[in-house]
Copies of this chain bind each other. A is one copy, B any other.
Amino acid sequence: MADQTFRHELAQQLRVDSVRSSAAAGSGHPTSSMSAADLMAVLLDGYLRLDFTDPGNPHNDHLVFSKGHASPLYYSLLKAAGAIDDEELLSFREFGSRLEGHPTPRIPPTDVATGSLGQGLPVAVGLALAGARLDRLPYRVWALCGDSEMAEGSVWEAFQHAAWYGLDNLTVLVDVNRLGQTGETMLGWDMDGYAARARAFGWHAVVVDGHDLAAVDEAFAEAVATTGRPTAVLARTEKGHGVRAVADQPGRHGKPLDDPEGAVRELGGERNLGVRVAAPENTGTPHRFPVGEATPPRWEVGEEVATRLAYGEALTALGAARGDVVALDGEVSNSTHSELFARAHPDRYFEMFIAEQQMIAAAVGMQARNWVPFASTFGAFLSRAYDFVRMAAVSRADLRLCGSHAGVSIGEDGPSQMALEDMAALRAVHGSAVLHPSDANQAARLVEAMADRPGISYLRTLRGKTPVRTPPDEEVSIGGSRVVRATDHDDLTIVACGITVDEAERAADVLEAEGVLAKVIDCYSVKPIDTVTLAAAASESRAVITVEDHWPEGGLGEAVLSALAGVADRPPVRVLGVRDMPVSGSPAELTHAAGIDADAVVAAARHLLRNPSPTVVG
């Protein structure tokens, strides 16, 4: 029988320390912390198996604070567990402190950053998938959710997937404190409503008074004992529980208490209890998938291959050579060609159905356990998970993304399916690489390079076939580029990537017949970009044209302009991109209409070279 007095004292300490740390910071969310203190006391003392002195221990349980704004509670439990001391606790939100306003992996054992609501649970699904299907270890994953975040659709993607994958190693604790930031949540204290939703989605659900320590203990025991499906512990709680001035009061969200000293007194004063969190048992080593001989795909110059197919083939070969590579797809694997990986390595392929947010979150969870996930869908639909990619960067996640069907060159399907903003969006992710190969050999080599690259890497692939130009043994590197054609006296530099490399080369042929020599640079690495090659080419040319199958904002053109920003004597640059909303049509009709085909490059070149120094050229 657990010592309920100790747990009560521990819970009160977590409340006190939440109040103290928020007061010290002058900001923070103490009331959102106080509601879940009892849940955490029972978890720490009775259920969590986590060696805080060895955060990398593969047997550790994982605790994800999906309600990241309850960081005062999280840091208070780290203190109780001995992971930080009281001085560090009181550095909460200070510049330089590891204890940021919302948790990040800067403070171990935090797996991922939270603070954008509705993301922690989907990431926990990824961790639980890693435990059940990859590591094949009995660690458990505990996620603490707020009730406000249950409004996020991503939470229901997580519910759906966790049940479908039968993740009985996953428990979500929902802190139903009724009050959101500005008022009551949609469900308030309708515990039956939450339970009905959880059960309808295939979960075991337990409703409990979140301040009844014995009841919480029983619920956790039930969660651990439940097999074949995940468990939701739905805890009815009070926001600000334990301090009358704030308990269940509106208008108390996200601010320190007015009278923290009084609150600490009301909670029984400061304590300095330590809790001996159970260490995990050593239950063997994480599963390793067998590897074998793998032949990376290669194509001869002149073959016609879609870069999306090259992605699938390269990833499959990579998976044969490396057991840590896994793949996820958003139910379009026969379009992205991740189906090749799925067929070759079915145990390491995860079908995430049409739930892009859950797909990215699952990948983030898996990489937190050192797996090397590649997640693919149409480039256009990666935009669905943009907040997850943004947060993955805050999580310092190593993530590989592939977006297929880039640009108007997909043709008849129309603009809803065309990625036209993906390079802009992915470039604006901290530490990202944005790669857009023009041929199969480039794509394959970049897939291999992505596997070893820290941070978030994005490969943009094409629907249609393109001719192989890059010899199979030529070096292709993140940050590199390829000079497709050049002479010693180029009048013009044309910078292209992906489908427009063909167009640039055709344009150079036309221009050469007119006596204009053009250098063509295949800028397959849009970020990082090959500044040295571009600057040298620009300084030797009378004009630069960039051409991309993407909106003009934030893509190749602006990446080139950034690379040349410091060059004082650079010639005028003309950015060709898609400026009008595309419609359906053939790839040729659409690239022509968009002004990104060879005709457009030729016209821009004639204009620039005839009129090299206009005051303003859009």
Interface residues of A (CB under 8 A from B): 25-28, 68, 93-97, 99-102, 104, 106, 113-118, 148-149, 151-157, 160-161, 164, 180-183, 185-186, 193, 196-197, 199-202, 331-335, 339, 351, 353-355, 357-358, 380-381, 383-384, 386-387, 390-391, 393-394, 396, 412-417, 420-421, 424-425, 427-431, 527, 531-532, 535, 539, 551-555, 557-559, 561-563, 565-569, 571-575, 580-581, 583-586, 589-590, 593, 612-618
Contact = CB atoms under 8 A, between A and B. Distances in A.
Nearest to A194: B200
Contact of A151 (B114, B355, B431): B355
Contacts of A535: 615-616
Contacts of A555: 428
A466 B449 CA distance: 46
A574 B612 CA distance: 23
A97 B335 CA distance: 25
A417 B95 contact: no
A204 B429 CA distance: 42
A26 to B, nearest CB: 8
Contact of A381 (B113, B387, B424, B565): B387
Contact of A427 (B161, B539, B553, B615): B553
A81 to B, nearest CB: 22
Given A201-B197, A583-B95, A615-B567, A355 B428 contact: no
A425 B421 contact: yes
B414 A115 contact: yes
B180 A331 contact: yes
Contacts of A551: 428-430
A188 to B, nearest CB: 11
Contacts of A561: 558, 561-562, 565
Given A156-B153, A558-B561, A574-B566, A102 B413 contact: yes
B428 A584 contact: no
A563 B339 CA distance: 43
A412 B193 CA distance: 35
A387 B390 contact: no
A538 B197 CA distance: 59
A601 to B, nearest CB: 16
A438 B16 CA distance: 40
A571 B565 CA distance: 9
A153 to B, nearest CB: 2
